[in-house]
């Protein structure tokens, strides 16, 4: 195990989150060196039981999203559990939760209450919809926000709306939450006090999408004209070659001119309308259809050699399985071997960022449900009886998942 501590060493994060958004945010903070205490209800984070083939409460997604964390079981709806949570918050630099406003007020974990108790804490509320809007108490999951944010419509192109086939909202907004937390921590270094940070999924993804999709609507008073023609083209896709599939992006004037010469189309190379991005955008379907036709004429290896020789971005199309044998990912050491005490040898991705001086820690495996309840709660002054009263033993054996919504 490496000795690097990471740039966030000596910071403590207490998280009261489940599924993917909050756990991904806190995973990144843990990979940056922070100590993360994961507070779980007696039944555990529902993701423990997703694809849990071994029936241990250690499904693969849970193992990945919760590496290096300490699991503490608390019933925060009970007096003893709420008091134990207060003790944890007292020693926290960051408090992260993803409850809707009504629930957080009922449990008295609203910003005013928490900051009154610990004025130095950075309070991060990762929520579906911002608290100032009419949707604030609506439940939100990744698929719902993909739909309402416009992402599903854009993904579907000119056909029916489609979901991106990964939890892109949860993970994108999780990274945004990391940025918000780090900004608030920096401001605390200046001011000496913490503050509340709200990171809503809907608003975050709407802003994310509009960066290039807003189109003419960037001008006040305009209607229509939204979208980005290049990404909307039905011919923008991985292309079939003579033997496989390849991903290619032609974008600059020089790249297109080079490609036209490579496929023996001097007429297009000499067409004044195609020498600039405006003219090419107006004819993007025609040009991408040409790319599709031409790439089918040679093998993937032949195209990769040719295109790379002319500085045109091109890569093979990997499956998820292919990633584990990818020569670049192997060379940079993205995958770490993790010896998990109950799940055996694991292969997991490290933090993909590098730090020349502080490095990043090699994290242990994800915790069993309540694995750290005793030591963590005793460290904040609770005796064994108080530990049991605060959460007690998990209500569900590892192999019996609780009822709940799909992850």
Residue after which a domain boundary falls, among 316, 342, 376? 316
Whether 220 is in a domain gets the answer no
Q: What is the tens place of the pLDDT at every residue in 15-51?
A: 999 999 999 999 999 999 999 999 999 999 999 999 9
Q: Are residues 192 and 247 in the same domain?
A: no
The mean of the pLDDT values for the chain is 93
Q: Do residues 261 and 382 both lie within one domain?
A: no
251 shares a domain with 175: no
Q: Same structural domain for residues 367 and 274?
A: no
3-state per-residue secondary structure call for the chain = CCCCCCCCCCCEEEEECCCCHHHHHHHHHHHCCCEEEEEECCCCCHHHHCCCCCCCCCCHHHHHHCCCCEEEECCCCCHHHHHHHHHHHHCCCEEEECCCHHHHHHCCCCHHHHHHHCCCCEEEEEECCCCCCCCCCCCCCHHHHHHHCCHHHHHHCCCCCCCCCCCHHHHHHHHHHHHHHHHHHHHHHHHCCCEEEEEEHHHHHHHHHHHHHCHHHHCCCCCCCCCCHHHHCCCCCCEECCCCEEEECCCCHHHHHHHHHHCCCHHHHCCHHHCCHHHHHHCHHHHHHHHHHHHCCCCHHHHHHHHHHCCCCEEECCCHHHHCCCHHHHHHCCEEEEEECCCEEEEEECCCCCCCCCCCCCCCCCCCCCCCHHHHHHHCCCCHHHHHHHCCCCCCCCCCCCCCCCC
Examine the domain organization and report whether 303 and 383 are in the same domain: no
pTM of the model: 0.92
In this structure, the answer to whether residues 155 and 259 fall within a common structural domain is: no
Q: For residue 225, is it within any domain?
A: no
More reliable by pLDDT, 313 or 157: 313
**Same domain as 155, residue 52:** yes
Domain residues for 149? Answer: 12-209+360-390
Q: Is residue 128 pLDDT above 60, yes or no?
A: yes
Predicted confidence band at 400 (pLDDT cuts at 50, 70, 90)?
A: low
Let me know if residue 330 belongs to a domain: no
CATH code for position 118:
3.40.50.10540
133 vs 225, higher pLDDT: 133
pLDDT in tens, 237-289: 999 999 999 999 999 999 999 999 999 999 999 999 999 999 999 999 999 99
Question: Residue 310's domain is classified under what CATH number?
Answer: 3.30.1540.10
37 and 165 co-located in one domain: yes
Do 205 and 255 belong together in one domain? no
């Amino acid at each position: 195990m490496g000795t690097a501590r990471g740039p966030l060493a000596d910071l403590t994060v207490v998280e009261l989150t489940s599924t993917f958004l909050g756990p991904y945010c806190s995973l990144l903070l843990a990979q940056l060196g922070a100590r993360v205490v994961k507070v779980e209800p007696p039944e555990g984070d529902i993701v423990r039981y997703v694809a849990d083939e071994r029936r241990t409460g250690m499904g693969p997604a849970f193992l990945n999203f919760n590496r290096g964390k300490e699991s503490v079981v608390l019933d925060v709806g009970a007096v003893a559990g709420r008091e134990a949570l207060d003790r944890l918050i007292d020693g926290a630099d960051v408090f992260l939760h993803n409850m809707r406003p009504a629930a957080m007020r009922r449990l008295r974990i609203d910003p005013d209450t928490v900051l009154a108790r610990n004025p130095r804490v950075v309070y991060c509320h990762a929520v579906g919809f911002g608290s100032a809007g009419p949707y604030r108490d609506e439940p939100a999951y990744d698929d719902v926000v993909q739909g309402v944010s416009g992402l599903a419509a854009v993904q579907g192109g000119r056909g029916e709306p489609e979901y991106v086939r990964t939890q892109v909202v949860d993970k994108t907004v999780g990274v945004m939450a990391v940025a918000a937390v780090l900004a608030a921590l920096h401001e605390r270094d200046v001011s000496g006090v913490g503050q509340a940070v709200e990171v809503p999924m809907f608003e975050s993804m709407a802003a994310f999408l509009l960066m290039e999709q807003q189109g003419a609507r960037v001008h006040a008073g305009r209607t229509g004209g939204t979208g980005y023609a290049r990404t909307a083209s039905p011919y923008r896709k991985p292309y079939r070659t003579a033997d496989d599939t390849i991903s290619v992006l032609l974008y600059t004037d020089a790249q297109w001119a080079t490609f036209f010469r490579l496929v023996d189309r001097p007429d297009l190379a000499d067409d004044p309308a195609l020498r600039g991005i405006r003219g090419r955008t107006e004819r993007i379907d025609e040009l991408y259809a040409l790319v599709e036709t031409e790439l089918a004429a040679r093998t993937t290896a032949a195209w990769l050699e040719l295109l790379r020789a002319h500085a045109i971005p091109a890569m093979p199309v990997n499956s998820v399985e292919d990633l584990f044998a990818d020569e670049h990912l192997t060379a940079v050491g993205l995958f770490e071997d993790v010896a998990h005490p109950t799940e055996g040898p694991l292969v997991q991705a490290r933090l993909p960022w590098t730090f020349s001086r502080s490095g990043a820690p090699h994290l242990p495996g994800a915790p069993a449900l309540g694995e750290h309840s005793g030591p963590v709660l005793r460290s904040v002054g609770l005796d064994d009886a108080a530990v049991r009263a605060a959460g007690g033993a998990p209500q569900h054996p590892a192999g019996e998942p609780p009822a709940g919504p799909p992850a």
